[in-house]
Structure 1
Amino acid sequence: MRQQLSKWLEGRVQQCVSGERNPISSCEKIERKRNSLNRRSAEMIKVNAKGTITKVEPVTGDVEKVSYQVHFRYFIKQNKRLYLEEEIENRLAEFYKGDLVHDEEFNPFHLNDSKVDHSPNLEVDVREDRKLFHYDRLKAVQYAERWWNDFNPAYKKFDVDCTNYISQCLHAGGAQMRGYPNRSSGWWMQNQNWSYSWTVANSLRWFLPNSKVGLRAQEVSSPDQLLLGDVICYDFEGDGRFNHTTIVTGRDAEGMPLVNAHTFNSRMRYWAYEDSTAYTPNIKYKFLSIVDDKGAKK
């Protein structure tokens, strides 16, 4: 079992670097990543992959399902500049009589309660909170880097954790909670309870550009206008309900955003997510730049 999974990972690493496709381990996601890099005049010059089996579940006498996690480290070269992108894949393999017969990445977005649209009733402003807000972008990015592949025990953890993680980053940057205990009001997490805007991608997408006090954002037209600590929202299916959120933590050699995220834990990932298993040609984005009470983006 372990030997077969190791061989499968070796095939994926080889495909990343050389483009050589093994019939057993060939991955369309890797091809999309390579194509995206080619369009940016970039390439993966080295890739490391480390897998850990998390669960073995016998299904029948002949069939076993194996859950495992892979930590990929992509060393990317672009216009003589090197940077490291990291990604965690949660995968499910199926073995029949000890032979690997199926393997796929687990997509947790079907668990996301963003499919329930809380946005029309969302109350973005709380009148009693008029404290001035200054956004410390450096602290937000430092938090994003510290916790990109871990969970801060001070906060509740979710199976679909992307927006919870982004809210924590914004809070680390100085954004103050408001609206407790009304889940449809403001932006907050307290006492193991939370507002929709704190944890639901579609609600945060509506909250940030409509908020008038405290934490708020201005929508910009293109990703190159974003600064470190800004937010990108993703509607993978293009149906109007946004189901993923990332934070800008770096730039590539062409000045385009690199982002960190949870759910699909990743750091310094190219903003467009063309290599994601959740990606569809109908994807839509919202580019949200955080503003503060000094009247300028910092």
Structure 2
Amino acid sequence: MEWLTSLRLFIEEYNASFTREQIYDQRLSQLEREALDRKLKSMDDRGAVIVNAKVKVKILESRSDDVERDVTYLILRSYLIKQNNKFYVEESMERRKAILHDNVIRQDEGLNREGDMKADIVNLDRDPDIAPMPRYRYNRLEAVKYAERWWNSHNTAYRLFDNDCTNFISQCLHAGGAPMRGHPNRSKGWWYSGSTWSYSWAVANALRWYLSGSKQGLRGEEVGSPEQLMLGDVICYDFDGDGRWQHNTMVVAKDDYGMPLVNAHTYNSRMRYWEYTDSTAYTPKIKYKFFRIVDG
């Protein structure tokens, strides 16, 4: 099929773009070209290079008329990165859509949007008046193991959200032993129960404020810089710098300079550099919060 050959060649060219100094392919959106340029600059700044790149593609849907074809596909990228004498593998999985005219690709765009647009609609009771909870010790290893197991798939014990980043991080925290509390009031505590859940479980802005306000159960202690974080800790992102927190990730490893590498959902990512300058949601006004998860 000629259109499939065109798509394969495009993906090969896209993959090869990481060896160039600047991304010029006009079939990608301006936002994606800028994000790829920032990724290359970030890697150069920290002495990292891609030494091997692999991609796998699965066609999800193909619709066409006499001239135009729309193809939705899933792409899994895997990059072996060398930084000084250390090697690690960064991976991502995303849904994309290609538009072809006469079997020639005219446009290709990602369908996974980073940034929770519901960030400004949630109000929380900062510390709900409930009975004291038993003490617990946060198991960082189990939280990270969960983040590694499910970074590119869905645990059917939980609902899959269109914007799944905070739901995924909450699952990781719970796998680490963080206890739920506050049910059934959605504006209280942090919990998931079958067909319903607290705002703090699934909304990025709500989890950020819950971590800084909770006095028992799941609690976060803000630290001043990313290198102070440990495996199993959480980073919150305000891409626009306007006080609406839109994304959350979990630290699963450190690079050769002790900086966090993170896993996340929505644009499913594994071992991604913490700054997210390679995101299309990134702006120069971005703000971060770094939370050390503490024992309850």
Tell me by how many angstroms 1:20 deviates.
7.6
Task: Select 2:103's aligned residue among 81, 98, 104.
Answer: 98
Q: Is the 8 A contact 1:235 1:243 kept in 2?
A: yes
TM-score scaled by length of structure 2: 0.92
Alignment partner of 1:115 is 2:119:
yes
Task: Select 1:166's aligned residue among 169, 178, 187.
Answer: 169
Alignment partner of 1:14 is 2:19:
no
Alignment partner of 1:199 is 2:202:
yes
Task: Select 1:49's aligned residue among 39, 46, 55.
Answer: 55
CA distance, structure 2, for counterparts of residue 22 and residue 114 of structure 1: 33
Matches for 1:133-282 after TM superposition, within 5 Å = 133-282=136-285
Partner of 1:276: helix, strand, or coil? coil
Task: Select 2:80's aligned residue among 64, 75, 80.
Answer: 75
Tell me by how many angstroms 1:202 deviates.
0.2
- Any gaps of 5 or more consecutive residues in structure 2? none
- Distance change (3 Å), C-alpha of 1:218 and 1:23: closer
CA distance, structure 2, for counterparts of residue 214 and residue 82 of structure 1: 37
Tell me by how many angstroms 1:93 deviates.
1.2
Partner of 2:261: helix, strand, or coil? strand
Partner of 1:170: helix, strand, or coil? helix
Between the aligned residues of both structures, percent identity stands at 48
Q: Deviations over 1:48-98 (max 9, x none)?
A: 11121112234x543222111111111110011111000112211111232
- Distance change (3 Å), C-alpha of 1:162 and 1:21: closer
Alignment length, in residue pairs?
Answer: 290
Q: Is the 8 A contact 1:67 1:90 kept in 2?
A: yes
Q: Is the 8 A contact 1:175 1:214 kept in 2?
A: yes
Q: Is the 8 A contact 2:234 2:292 kept in 1?
A: yes
Q: Is the 8 A contact 2:126 2:213 kept in 1?
A: no
Tell me what 1:40 maps to: 46
2:79 alignment partner AA: Y
1:8 alignment partner AA: F
CA distance, structure 1, for counterparts of residue 167 and residue 41 of structure 2: 31
Tell me by how many angstroms 1:282 deviates.
1.3
Partner of 2:183: helix, strand, or coil? coil
Q: Is the 8 A contact 2:224 2:290 kept in 1?
A: yes
Q: Is the 8 A contact 1:56 1:67 kept in 2?
A: yes
Q: Is the 8 A contact 2:140 2:232 kept in 1?
A: yes
CA RMSD of aligned residues (A): 1.8
Q: Is the 8 A contact 2:78 2:91 kept in 1?
A: yes
Tell me what 2:35 maps to: 29
- Any gaps of 5 or more consecutive residues in structure 1? 294-298
TM-score scaled by length of structure 1: 0.92
CA distance, structure 1, for counterparts of residue 26 and residue 242 of structure 2: 34
Tell me what 2:134 maps to: 131
Tell me by how many angstroms 1:21 deviates.
5.4
Select between 198-207 and 79-88 the one with higher mean Cα deviation: 79-88
Partner of 2:118: helix, strand, or coil? helix
CA distance, structure 2, for counterparts of residue 109 and residue 31 of structure 1: 18
